[in-house]
Homo-oligomer: A and B are copies of this chain.
Amino acid sequence: MFVLVNLKAYPCDPVAVAEAAADVAGDTEATVAVAPQAADLARVADTGVTTYAQHVSPNGHGSHTGSTLAESVADNGAVGTLLNHSEARRKLADIDGSLDAAARADLDTVVCANNPEQVAAAAALGPDAVAVEPPELIGTGTPVSQADPDVVEDAVDAAAAVDPSVDVYCGAGISTGDDVVAAEELGASGVLLASGVAKADDPRTALEDLVAPLD
């Protein structure tokens, strides 16, 4: 399983979460990755954890003030990036462009989507993975695998019909090891989570609990 902890713009210590994630990742078969704010990427990557950007822009080098250049993100230690998160929805043409930008910078890509139709659309653009996150469940604490298991299975089927090489992750409401196991049983090969770890009193324990049933 791939477990991605999205730190969003939370008031957590990104390095402390990253160190905990790096430690926990050493003791499990699962890959545990952390996606901090762009400005925190270098410090997070220095911990040795698998580091993702939260977004990269579709542009390449050039006159693009305020963009998040894929090459810059990679130079600072990121090995992958989220794209089109529900809090950072992008134009279809720009998702396509950002996938090209990520490919040039050798970044793995996870394109988020609201529902199975959008998952299929995202899969058609050729990312490494797609993630289905029903917006109405994000941050609720109710896992999508429990609130709406069909949406996960439908997303897995939808992506497979378009391109079987694209992994499917699921997000929204994931906070326990049981949620991760449930996601796996529904066909997901990864999970996205955020507040369950980033806002936990003890992120290390939260991560240990999360990956415990996976080994």
Seen from chain A, the residues whose Cβ lies within 8 Å of a Cβ on chain B are 6, 8-11, 35, 37-43, 53-55, 57, 59-69, 71-73, 75-76, 78, 82, 84-96, 113-115, 117-118, 120-126, 138-139, 158, 161-162, 194-195
Contact = CB atoms under 8 A, between A and B. Distances in A.
Given A76-B39, A125-B117, A90 B87 contact: no
Nearest to A55: B66
This chain's copy number in the assembly: 4
A92 B68 contact: no
Contact of A42 (B39, B68, B92, B117): B39
B62 A9 contact: yes
Given A72-B9, A89-B91, A139 B37 contact: no
Given A54-B66, A66-B82, A66-B87, 18 more contacts: A6-B65, A9-B72, A10-B62, A37-B67, A39-B69, A40-B75, A42-B42, A63-B195, A65-B86, A93-B118, A96-B115, A96-B117, A96-B121, A117-B125, A118-B125, A120-B124, A121-B121, A162-B162
